Structure 1
Amino acid sequence: MTYEETVDPTGAEAVRRERFGKLPERIRLEDTVEERPAVLPDPAKDTYNPDEWLVRTCL
């Protein structure tokens, strides 16, 4: 009796071979990178206000 005679191709092995029998398709490098346009920094966001610092630390 050979190995081919003992294997049942219609059972669970056939289902497994259909699902896992080949490698997934390659993903191109261009498809793995997300590009977003750069935004200009907001000049009002990072301004230093000495009065605000004084109020937050001294009160």
Structure 2
Amino acid sequence: MKKELTADSAAAAARHARYGTLPERIRFEDMTEEVESAPGGAAASYDPEGSWKSYSCLALDLGL
């Protein structure tokens, strides 16, 4: 007894032939990595005296 292909099963077979199977699932634990941060990090690079250089104010830009 031969199994008849319907339109849905033929489309599914064509999709499987073209794209194959989905890749294996990746566990959440494998997607994340915990590392120790360097001491000082971003806090050591903050310079309050030089922060005025990046300050933006619309009133100052317009000369008001």
Question: TM over 0.5: same fold?
Answer: no
Rg larger for: 1
After TM superposition, the score normalised by the length of structure 2 is 0.34
Which has the bigger relative contact order, CA under 8 A and spacing at least 6?
A: 1
